Every structure is written in C-alpha cells, then in structure tokens.
Structure 1
Amino acid sequence: MTHKLRAEYGPQGPAGGVRSWHVVRDEDPATALCGRTMPDDAETRPEQEWGTGLRCCQQCGSLYMHETPHMQGSHPYS
C-alpha cells in the first residue's frame, strides 16, 4: 500500500498556508486516514516527506505507522 500527504488549509485557504498535513492512501486520495475529507485542490506531497518536520496530523501519523513497515530487519526478532 502506498500513501501520499495532502494539505489541510486554514480559513484563508492556500493563501494562508498549510495548517496540517494528512496521510491518504493512493486508492482514496479524498479521505485522510483520520477520516477528514480532503479537497480536490489540496497540495499533495510524496509519503517520504512524512516525518521530515512537516506539521502532520497526529492521528494520521499513528495510523500510517501501523500500515507502513518502517525499518524492517532492524529489530532482532524480525
């Protein structure tokens, strides 16, 4: 499964900057993992930018971590 980041804007829209980044699945880019509906014109970034200092939705981040195998092979029992 692959993901993307989608921007949530404040009351001023894109001109006011990104309020938060949400994680969406590629097969449903209109719905964030947290359940928020994302506008069609929301800026999109690759999932590799998650965890790079962007202000991301905490709920999306938690669910993303459960869906994405990070650092496979780094745990002695994996």
Structure 2
Amino acid sequence: MTHQLRAEYGPQGAAGGVKVWHVVREGDPAMALCGRTMPAAAETRPEQEWGTGLRCCQQCGSLYMHEVPHMQGSHPYS
C-alpha cells in the first residue's frame, strides 16, 4: 500500500504554513488515516518524508506504522 503526506493548515491557510502533516492512502487522498477530511488543494509530500522531523499527526503516524513494514530484515526473527 502506498501513502502520501498531506498538509493541514492553520487559520491563515497555506499562507500561514503547515500546521501538521497527515498520512493518507494514495487511493483515498481526501481522507487521512486519523479520519480527518483533507482538502484537495493541500500540499503533498512522499511518504518517505514521514519521520524526518516534520510535525506529523500522532494518530496518523501510529496507524501508518501498523500498515507499513519498517526496517524489514533488521529484526532477528524477520
């Protein structure tokens, strides 16, 4: 499954900068994993930028980690 990051803006909109990044499934970019509806015009970034210091939605991040295998082969039982 492929994901994207999608921006949520504060009260000033895009001009005020990104408030928080949400994770969306590529097949449903209007709905964040946390359930928030995302505007179609919101900035997107590739999922590889998750965990690189961007301020991300904690609930989206938790759900994302359950959907995406991280560091495959690094666990002794992998």
TM-score, normalised to structure 1, is 0.99
Q: Percent identity?
A: 87
Correspondence for 2:77: 77
Matched residues in 2 for 1:17 and 1:47: separation? Answer: 19
Correspondence for 1:58: 58
Matched residues in 2 for 1:59 and 1:30: separation? Answer: 16
Structure 2 gaps of 5+ residues are none
Q: Deviations over 1:6-40 (max 9, x none)?
A: 00000100000000000000000000000000001
Q: Which runs of 4+ in 1 moved over 4 A?
A: none
Matched residues in 1 for 2:76 and 2:49: separation? Answer: 27
Offset, 1:5:
0.1
RMSD between aligned residues: 0.3
TM-score, normalised to structure 2, is 0.99
